[in-house]
A and B are shown apart, each in its own frame.
Chain A
Amino acid sequence: METATQTKPEIAISLRDVNKWYGEFDVLKNVNLDVERGQRIVICGPSGSGKSTMIRCINRLEEHQSGQIIVDGIELNNDLKNIDQIRREVGMVFQHFNLFPHLTVLENCCLAPMWVRKIPRKEAEATAMEYLERVKIPHQAKKFPGQLSGGQQQRVAIARSLCMKPRIMLFDEPTSALDPEMIKEVLDTMIELAESGMTMLCVTHEMGFAKTVADAVIFMDAGQIIEMNTPDEFFNHPQHERSKLFLSQILGH
């Protein structure tokens, strides 16, 4: 990886005055954010506040309309080469897993390494098995996603992303489509990943997770970052009325 040896940017992700509209509707309003390499950040906020939109802008699943997004030292613009390069380095885990149902678990994990990174099949499979081992489902490698439980599918999805050896991982509510008894197995996997030093941006309402591993919690509302603080500060002394209200709502239940 040439970029790493040349500059080794301390800042993994940087958003400068990012704005995005859906038609007339202002989804992101002047968002500024710097994520350092190795930082784990949890993003929370009410529904519709633009959390998903923000992290989806980071790997260009959504296009921002003004401002600057720099990922891993590369600026996201209309240059397709940049987009491809960034997507290689940024893994993403979705709320609904989005595994490829026509491929086995192992094939799901090998597809991108083989086609994007041009790694030979044997090697890709070995790496895939390593990561499946890490998320504790190596024995399901030959099954199809439809034959697994939700928690297992989400762990496969995490392994699939990791097989690309990304430098940054994005999570968009990875546990909110899961039954309660499966949430823990996915969170444990994420905690382990966080402890390995991965740069992580997680949209989640799992406050336990935030308290255990997050370096910072971001609170978003109406397309803006209202507050960014350490988990300790954020949960015990929220600065803004809206954060207080939000916390009382999710912790109240």
Chain B
Amino acid sequence: MQAFITRETLPSLPPPSTLKGPIAWMRQNLFSSVGNTIVTVVLVLAILAALIPFINWAFIKADWIGSSRDDCTSGGACWVFVYVHLKLFMVGLYPEAETWRVLLVGMILVVTLAGLMIKGVPFKKYLQLFALIAFPIIAFMLLSGGSFGLPHVETNFWGGLLLTLVIAIVGIVAAFPLGILLALGRRSSMPIVKAICVVFIEVWRGVPLITVLFMSSVMLPLFLPEGMEFDKLLRALVGITLFQSAYLAEVVRSGLQAIPKGQYEAANALGLTFWQGMYKVILPQALKIVIPGIVNSFISLFKDTSLVLIIGLFDLLATIQGAFASPKWLGYAIEGYLFAALVYWVFCFGMSRYSQRVERSLKTTN
């Protein structure tokens, strides 16, 4: 008797072509019945009816380049407004001659982030150290100046996207370790530590960010000794960091709660100290669970940075609003807001996609 036996498992065959491809997908999902077909057609027409005038206005009939509102003659969107003010929107009143410093910081940031995110880049560990320790110092020295022959640029002149990013990044990076410490403190068995953390978290979570900013800007100087001046931006940064850390603490705490008791016990039984166990065993697992929540709170912080307008800091949104409120450019609010929306969206969407990628890569390793 003879039999044929494969020595290896055969790769599975691709599905028959009627089952895949865009046409098959549309047939299955959009045109599977008469009713479905009608709904599809109606919806497509409705979308087109709304979209075509917008595309027409925003792209086809739009004016892109010029130097004043007189260059906007086609009746569509006047992107000249954005074009003319681009420097203002990006760096605020940062001196023209010094803007290369902002560009340089931006470039270092982009290269560093790319190096951290792209797989297979060597020396990741050193890159991380650079990003967390060296970069903030370099960025501050470049942006603020006052040493190495660079003229000092007061933070009053920082504005636009530059200011938005400075606030968001500092807020995110500084709030992260603080939030973790608060979360651990809230779960501590030491009553005083626990009480301090609970009070801190609940107080900061209970007040709106506007109040925090207002207090840090108006109230704080009242408590400080006469003549002592704190940089306005610094005060806002401290307020935002503390505010954000309280939110983050609650997100992290929910992750800590999801870790089974056995993990703590195994870490203890192996002789790891509390901090070693946290660092190597508990936090990597807990933070992974709450990545969506962490990114969520970062995204909302990013958007909330626009509130600094009320204490007289001119971030991206504020500079745009300022520009279309000037008599020369009255009436171009829509272009301004659309541009602001686009910039905010690019950053928030980027964060969201990156977090999804991190989540996926963690899932496959585990």
Q: Which residues of A contact B (CB under 8 A)?
A: 59-61, 84, 87-88, 90-92, 94, 96, 98-102, 111-112, 115-116, 144, 146, 160-161, 164
Contact = CB atoms under 8 A, between A and B. Distances in A.
B271 interface: yes
Nearest to A85: B271
Contacts of B260: 98
A38 B280 CA distance: 33
B269 interface: yes
A146 B366 contact: yes
Contacts of A160: 270
A87 B270 contact: yes
Nearest to A60: B268
Contact of A161 (B270, B280, B365): B270
Interface in B258-305: 260, 262-263, 265-266, 268-273, 276, 280-281, 284-285, 288
B131 to A, nearest CB: 23
Label chain B's interface by main secondary structure: helix
Given A111-B280, A115-B276, A164 B270 contact: yes
Interface of B: 260, 262-263, 265-266, 268-273, 276, 280-281, 284-285, 288, 365-366
A61 B265 CA distance: 7
B271 A164 contact: yes
A-B pairs, 6 with minimum CB distance? A98-B266, A112-B270, A98-B262, A92-B269, A87-B271, A116-B271
A78 B266 CA distance: 20
A94 B271 contact: no
Given A144-B365, A144-B366, 17 more contacts: A59-B268, A87-B269, A87-B270, A94-B265, A94-B269, A98-B262, A100-B281, A100-B285, A101-B285, A102-B285, A111-B272, A112-B270, A115-B272, A115-B276, A160-B270, A161-B269, A164-B270
A98 B263 contact: yes
A133 B366 CA distance: 23
Contacts of B288: 102
B262 A96 contact: yes
Contact of B269 (A59, A96, A144): A59
B283 to A, nearest CB: 10
Contacts of A96: 262
Nearest to B274: A80
Contacts of B285: 100-102
A141 B296 CA distance: 36
Nearest to B263: A98
Nearest to A56: B265
Contacts of A115: 272, 276, 280
Given A115-B276, A144-B366, A146-B366, A102 B269 contact: no
A91 B271 CA distance: 9
Contact of A100 (B266, B268, B269): B266
B269 A61 contact: yes
Nearest to A86: B271
A88 B270 CA distance: 7
A119 B261 CA distance: 27
Contacts of B273: 84
Contacts of A61: 265, 268-269
A144 B364 CA distance: 10
A19 B179 CA distance: 39
Contacts of B266: 92, 94, 98-100
B272 A100 contact: no
B270 A101 contact: no
A102 B361 CA distance: 12
A139 to B, nearest CB: 19
Contacts of B284: 102
A98 B365 CA distance: 18
A100 B262 CA distance: 10
B366 A111 contact: no
Nearest to B273: A84
A59 B267 CA distance: 12
A111 B365 contact: no
Nearest to A94: B262
Contact of A87 (B262, B263, B268, B365): B268
A124 B272 CA distance: 15
A168 B256 CA distance: 31
A203 to B, nearest CB: 14
Nearest to A146: B366
A116 B269 contact: no
B282 to A, nearest CB: 9
A116 B280 CA distance: 12
A91 B266 CA distance: 10
16 contacts: A60-B268, A61-B269, A87-B268, A87-B271, A88-B271, A92-B269, A94-B269, A96-B262, A98-B260, A99-B266, A100-B266, A111-B280, A115-B276, A116-B270, A116-B276, A161-B269
